Structure 1
Amino acid sequence: MRPSKREMIVDQALRVIGEQGVGALTYEMIAEQAALTKAGIVYHFPTKDELLAAVVDKVTREWDEEASGYLTDSFEESSSAERVTAYLQTLLSGKRTSSELVLAAETMAGESRHPAWEHLRSRWVSDEATTVWEQVAILAAVGLWFSDATEYLTLSESTRAEVRAAVRHLPRMS
């Protein structure tokens, strides 16, 4: 099935964000890359803020769906530890992209903070129920994502797999 124009616009916007940052996101750039007119983009997203919100919503929805797939029971029936483990699996899956990292960095904090990120985090990682070792594991997983996206450390596939296994083990340290 062919993606809708709205989906194509959101996908192209995420690509532009990954390559040049949120500040470089323009209707003209997306129109060129998506082979659409600027008017066609404005029809779907009258403001840049609406477009950016749609990109964040898409990414956080995909993360949420992926984390749900790691649960053996329904979300409601899963314990806090099971939810954290599923979220951790999502961070460690290797599916997180450099474009998502740039988007997260530019829309998770400050004036640009998008509420979908907080909703995602609070849904999967309860501040009250999360242990210190679960928090360390999440921070380590985010660090690995950063390293993979920026090539901060050049890890072989076998080393990366060992690091992921070690990070998955961290929540059991308590």
Structure 2
Amino acid sequence: MRESKREAALEAAKHVVQRDGVTALSYESVAAEAGLTKGGLLYHFPTREDLLLALHEYVAGQWEQHMRDEVADEVPDTSAPGPDIRGTAPLTEAAKTVAYVRASQNPDRAELLLTLEAISDQAARAVWNGVYDRWAAPVPESAEDHDAVARFIARLAADGLWLYESISEQPMHPQIREHLVRAIIALDRSEQQ
């Protein structure tokens, strides 16, 4: 299976999880969704756990790419991994916060289910935590670090909006979402300095 077929398999696996949940993920369900053979899937994903871990990496990678896209205007070279993609100086914490807030919107059910599933899977949790470590504001080390506290509050607000959109059956009007995103970004006072 060429890389494009591997990606097609992962996209199909994402659709299976989106529609039927993580427990429905099997070689048979992914092969049927992607129009591939079970043998083709086994070549790249010898076990269901390998397929599931690759799916975590794929979905987390899509999310991280959204964050890179958010800073593309500030950072011309997006070929290197992580937020220090300029190759010279790392992004500011404020720029990472803006990218995190903007890229954390419009989740789908598969993303929610996979992040929940990762809680009980150490390898999958490491995949998601790697993205969080590179982009999300960490828990402040001191309540006196007001900028770090503000960034963390912005992260919590973005996570709350993401969760709301993940579980709500009512789509949010794009203008309302944009207004909320701007308000969350404004929580990070270092962005205004």
TM category (shorter chain) comes to 0.7 to 0.9
Percent same amino acid at aligned positions? 30
Give 1:154 shift: 5.2
- Check whether the contact 1:18–1:103 (CA below 8 A) recurs between aligned residues: no
Q: Which amino acid letter does the alignment assign opposite residue 93 of structure 2? A: S
The answer for the alignment partner of 1:83 in structure 2 is 96
Structure with greater contact order relative to length (CA < 8 Å, sep ≥ 6): 1
TM-score using structure 1 length:
0.83
The answer for the alignment partner of 1:142 in structure 2 is 159
Give 1:64 shift: 2.0
Q: Deviations over 1:4-37 (max 9, x none)?
A: 2111110111111122221221111111111112
TM-score using structure 2 length:
0.76
How many residues are treated as equivalent by the alignment? Answer: 170
The answer for the alignment partner of 1:46 in structure 2 is 46
Q: 1:133 is matched with which residue: 150, 164, 170? A: 150
Q: In structure 2, list runs of 5 or more residues that go unmatched.
A: 78-83, 142-146
Give 1:160 shift: 2.2
The answer for the alignment partner of 1:106 in structure 2 is 117
1:154–1:132 Cα change, 3 Å: same
Q: In structure 1, list runs of 5 or more residues that go unmatched.
A: none
The answer for the alignment partner of 2:81 in structure 1 is none
Q: Give the Cα–Cα distance (whole angstroms) in 1 for the partners of residues 43 and 16 of structure 2.
A: 19
CA RMSD of aligned residues (A): 2.6
The answer for the alignment partner of 1:124 in structure 2 is 135
Q: How does 1:13-92 map to 2 (within 5 A)?
A: 13-71=13-71, 72-73=74-75, 75=84, 76-92=89-105
